[in-house]
Structure 1
Amino acid sequence: MQTVVIRSWSELQDQLFGDMWNRDLRRFRSPFLFRGVGQADFDLIPSLKRLGGSYWDLERHVLRNFRKYAHRSTVPHDDDWNWLALGQHHGLPTRLLDWTYSPYVALHFATAEISSYDRDGAIIMANYRQMAQSLPEGLQNPLTRNGSHVLTAELLREYAGSLEELDEKSAAHGEEWVCFFEPPSLDDRITNQFAVFSMTSHARLDLSRWFAERPDFARKLVIDHALKWEIRDKLDQANVTERVLFPGLDGLSRWLARHYMSPEGAHLRAKDSGWSAQQEIPPVQE
């Protein structure tokens, strides 16, 4: 994966928007999806892996119990893909990772946690159009039929009816791949964040290694920590804030707490948080 260090707002805009022109459509349409993280070292670690141990064996148990205790009416269709999307949306450990079509939403997540303003952040840009062409034929066919590069839960269900079936197919063919799928519009948060999920062909797939072996599929923009305040203030001016991305009183409160915090207050917050480089769970795109 190509890495680019960003030290100015203008450099950032050039990297985020430089490859948008689509000659076929004659429109500016980016081939990238974006993921923002507050600490550059913690970029592609799914929540399932953070369970530790044989986390890949726990996935089906976590999902089964989530389905058992959640209300059936909370998903539009009773299948693994809709339940996975709902679980990921509410913090359930899954193999999924959150991405967005919006570079500014990704920038929000790279700068939302003020206690990490003394550490470099990052934006990971994944070329979802190229990645779609590397998928197994059974996944490419519904994409081609629908003129799309991103799957939905319904299209995933055509290929595999469950996580178990998906893993069995991947093991049988010895395939490693990463797809993107759009979650159902469960609430305004998913809609406002322009959310997309990535999913791996098996739970043990290391995304950092996978992208490293395919350098054309992604690039990583490392944001110098000295630039974070400027980015944050400009995002606030553009109304890319918790108040919009997390509709409701919780989002409003988070926005106000951050908006009125001074750099001195941010320093105290970082000190009080007790954060260290050895921590396993950083603030990342939700």
Structure 2
Amino acid sequence: MEEKKFDTWIELQEYLFNFEKGSIHNRYRSSLAYRGVSNAGYDLKTSLMRLNNKTAEKHLLRNFKKYANTLIKDNDNVWELLAIAQHYGLPTRLLDWSFSPYVALHFATSNSREFNKDGAIWCMDILKVNELLPDKLNEILKDEGSLVFTVDSLKNISLNEFDNLNNNQIEDEDKDFVICLEPPSIDERIINQYAMFTVISNPNKKFDELMDEHPDGIYTKIIIPKELKMEIRDKLDQANISERIIYPGLEGISAWLKRYYTKF
């Protein structure tokens, strides 16, 4: 993993938007996804892993499906189930990302209790992540003409089959992989956050552990110095990137006002 640190807002902006025309549809569009955290010491462990219970996943999903049945459009689509479960806080093997670097910057600077600690943003290259996919998943992306999967494009693949896809390819035997999954637009929160999930074929493996098994360039960790957090935070607020946009509704407005009027 490559690690970078920037001491000014300008340097950070130049890096985050340093992509040239041509890689995606001959436009100035990036193949990167971003994840921001308020403490650079945090790792890329999923909420499921934090339970410290390696057999919990199937029980969590079974019971969530039973009690949330009316919220799920396709009861037989485990990918829709996973996306909805993650969105509502159930521990899953999914990690939250965003296609927006500003949304990631928001999450790196929104926790006022950690303004005295360096934050971080991970920048992941989806094109390079996709190079590690098994043939069957590559074919799905090719047919879709997309960089990322949707819950519909994966609906015919069970979670058990997904976990064992590479076992059928001798050269990739026992190698884990990760997919990028765009969730259904359940509500405005997902839309406004420009959300995306990563899903690893091994629910007990951290994303950074998997990526570090492969050559550099798949992802970069940017350290946000604590001395720069206040400037970033105020400029994001001025650009209307705040809780009232990230979490539409009264909850977001309350969170924004609480942070905005906190004294440091």
What range is the shorter-chain TM-score in? over 0.9
| Percent of aligned pairs with the same amino acid | 42
Q: Which amino acid aligns with 1:96?
A: L
Give the distance between the partners of 1:210 and 1:249, measured in 2 at CA: 39
Q: Which amino acid aligns with 2:36?
A: G
Which of 145, 159, 162 does residue 163 from structure 1 map onto? 159
Contact 2:38 / 2:111 at 8 angstroms: preserved in 1? yes
Moved more, 202-211 or 20-29: 20-29
Higher helix content, 1 or 2: 1
Counterpart in the other structure of 1:217 = 218
Give the distance between the partners of 1:92 and 1:102, measured in 2 at CA: 24
Q: Which amino acid aligns with 2:159?
A: L
Following superposition, the deviation at residue 95 of structure 1 comes to 0.5
Cα deviation per residue 1:91-125 (whole Å; 9 max; x = unaligned)?
Answer: 11001000000000010000110000111100000
Give the distance between the partners of 1:177 and 1:146, measured in 2 at CA: 20
Counterpart in the other structure of 2:196 = 196
Structure 2 segments unaligned to the other structure (5+ residues): none
Contact 1:40 / 1:120 at 8 angstroms: preserved in 2? yes
Query: Residue 97 of structure 2: SS of its match in structure 1?
Result: strand
Following superposition, the deviation at residue 25 of structure 1 comes to 3.1
Counterpart in the other structure of 1:100 = 98
Query: Residue 39 of structure 1: SS of its match in structure 2?
Result: coil
Counterpart in the other structure of 1:14 = 14
Counterpart in the other structure of 1:133 = 131
Give the ranges of 4+ consecutive aligned residues of structure 1 lying more than 6 Å apart after TM superposition.
none
Q: Which amino acid aligns with 2:258?
A: A
Q: Which amino acid aligns with 1:74?
A: L
Contact 2:24 / 2:30 at 8 angstroms: preserved in 1? no
Give the root-mean-square deviation of aligned CA atoms: 1.4
Give the distance between the partners of 1:210 and 1:65, measured in 2 at CA: 29
Cα deviation per residue 1:242-281 (whole Å; 9 max; x = unaligned)?
Answer: 1011011111100011111121xxxxxxxxxxxxxxxxxx
Give the distance between the partners of 1:247 and 1:13, measured in 2 at CA: 26
Counterpart in the other structure of 1:259 = 260
Give the distance between the partners of 1:246 and 1:183, measured in 2 at CA: 16
Following superposition, the deviation at residue 75 of structure 1 comes to 2.2
Counterpart in the other structure of 1:152 = 150
Query: Residue 241 of structure 2: SS of its match in structure 1?
Result: coil
Q: Which amino acid aligns with 2:162?
A: L
Give the distance between the partners of 2:28 and 2:48, measured in 1 at CA: 36
Counterpart in the other structure of 1:279 = none
Give the distance between the partners of 1:43 and 1:98, measured in 2 at CA: 13
Query: Residue 46 of structure 2: SS of its match in structure 1?
Result: coil
Residues 1:21 and 1:239: Cα distance change in structure 2 (over 3 Å): same
Moved more, 21-30 or 34-43: 21-30
Query: Residue 154 of structure 2: SS of its match in structure 1?
Result: helix
Following superposition, the deviation at residue 163 of structure 1 comes to 1.7
Q: Which amino acid aligns with 1:166?
A: F
Contact 1:170 / 1:201 at 8 angstroms: preserved in 2? no
Query: Residue 176 of structure 1: SS of its match in structure 2?
Result: coil
Residues 1:73 and 1:170: Cα distance change in structure 2 (over 3 Å): farther
TM-score (norm 2): 0.93
Give the distance between the partners of 2:34 and 2:210, measured in 1 at CA: 17
Give the distance between the partners of 1:166 and 1:198, measured in 2 at CA: 13
Contact 1:166 / 1:201 at 8 angstroms: preserved in 2? yes
